[in-house]
Amino acid sequence: MILSDYHMHSHYSGDSKTPTIDMINKSIELGLNNICFTEHYDPLFPCYKEEEKGMFDLDLDKYLSFANKCKADSNLQSNINVNFGMELGIYPGIYDICREITSNNTFDFIICSSHTAGKIDPYYPEYWNNYSTIEGATIYFEEILENINNFKEFDVYGHLDYCLRYTNSTLEERMLQNYKDVIHEIFKVLIENSKGIEINSGGKRSKKSKRKKEEMKEEIQQEKKEEKKEEKKEEKKKEEKKEERKSKRKKKVYQGNLVCLKWMEQKRIDF
């Protein structure tokens, strides 16, 4: 049996703090044969909260540089096959941006996912304030169908039930049978284009996952605040040093002027 995990997020993703190398070592310990990091990249993600702006951007230069180092490490690759891809968050209006990302960079594996519907993340209760469960989920699934009809540069479509994890509705309303027509069309397009369908068990732990996600976001936001504080402290120190240097230069100039004045006074006396 080949044990693999092809949906992994490390510290390169905005919602994870775990160092990549720690995840590699843990995967070896668990006996996995293949893994693939699929770091989040949601271009122009419509953040609901101001402090989350840029949270799902991916520093491709740093990430792919690390990927190349790992692939060149024969000792590492002899223990486990490590691949590097991404989870590309997509929605209508950014297809060309996503094509540019996939065409200009080399990835081993690309998960395409919908993290929004109508440019709002269903993770937030505000989304469900606007719709019933049936309405909100239908809009989400219809947007997936629009995405896969207009964008083909991926291997697998991720967590089709993402939106249903975060609604507080009844089990009956969350049953996929309610959305069979649009889901049938989604499957049909994916299969016709030889795309994979991810089996993601995240929905089984949705409530716990939501709490953890919120806690993680709060921790990351707090860390960013602390980093900004430290940056401000450093800037203040630099300004203080700059002012100190200015003060010293002024003092030297003043002392030099005094010496000149004394010298000139002495010359007058001698004259």
- Token code pair at residue 166: 């975060």
Give tens-digit pLDDT for 65-109.
999 999 999 999 999 999 999 999 999 999 999 999 999 889 999
pLDDT of 269 over the 80 cut: no
Q: Give residue-wise pLDDT tens across range 143-202.
A: 999 999 999 999 999 999 899 988 888 888 889 899 999 999 999 999 999 999 888 776
Cβ distance 85 to 112 under 8 Å? no
